[in-house]
A and B are shown apart, each in its own frame.
Chain A
Amino acid sequence: EVQLVESGGGVVQPGGSLRLSCAASGFTFSSYNMHWVRQAPGQGLVWVSRITSDGSSTSYADSVKGRFTISRDDAKNTLYLQMNSLRAEDTAVYYCAKYYGAGTYCLDYWGRGTLVTVSS
């Protein structure tokens, strides 16, 4: 059974940093692109970032480019999101999600999310 479990969320002051983790199991983690998607309280889904299966390529939404860094450790089956220079508008539940497969450009499994609150 595919499982994605996010952790690392919490309360952080504006300008601060936080690192999110996503522990994956039930599939060959190293074979799949992985994504982060966020959802502000009461709001819609927003795509944040993607990393390829081999970690060689990353992409970001304009709103987080230069502040967030996605990475992965295939030996630990874990996806990361390093978030720096956090702003109030980054407050959201952050989901990690697995890419469905080659050419589909969609996400078939999602974690339950971890809440990040940016507040003084």
Chain B
Amino acid sequence: QSALTQPASVSGSPGQSITISCTGTSSDVGAYNLVSWYQQHPAKAPRLMIYEVSKRPSGVSDRFSGSKSGNTASLTISGLQAEDEADYYCCSYAGSDTYVFGTGTKGTVL
């Protein structure tokens, strides 16, 4: 149950796009199309942004999109806005009714 690997930080200017990677193994990310992404603002509870690799829950902006290739999933935020500055975590089902989160990425809007 090792944490999925994410870059510590990613930054972009308003209006630009950023992509956050999430690398796991053939036992978690690579094995299931069950990757989700969460946004967390300081001292706040996480918020679900993407589930099942690329689906958006109701109320989440279409500026957020997800994809996966092999053992690596990605979250892309397009048209970057100030309120997108937050920490982002990926999460994957890891089999046997267990889950694993990523190490987290600090998203910065320059």
Contacts and interface: CB of A to CB of B under 8 A. Distances in A.
B99 A104 contact: no
Nearest to B34: A105
Tell which of A45, A60, A107, A111 has the most Cβ of chain B within 10 Å: A45
Contacts of A47: 91, 98-101
A11 interface: no
Interface in A82-120: 95, 97, 100, 103-108, 110-113
B104 interface: yes
Given A95-B46, A108-B57, A45 B51 contact: no
B103 interface: yes
A105 B46 contact: no
A45 B97 contact: no
B51 A104 contact: yes
A34 B58 CA distance: 20
Chain A interface size, as a band, is: 20 to 34
Contacts, number: 74
Contacts of B34: 104-106
Contact residues on B (Cβ < 8 Å of other chain), bracket: 20 to 34
A105 B98 CA distance: 10
A45 to B, nearest CB: 4
A110 B45 contact: yes
Contacts of A1: none
Count chain B CB atoms within 10 A of each CB in A47, A59, A63 and give the residue with the most: A47
A63 B101 CA distance: 14
A50 interface: yes
Given A50-B99, A61-B98, A105-B36, A45 B46 contact: yes
Contacts of A44: 3, 89, 101-104
A60 B48 CA distance: 22
Contacts of A59: 96-98
A5 B81 CA distance: 30
6 contacts: A59-B98, A60-B98, A107-B91, A108-B57, A110-B45, A112-B45
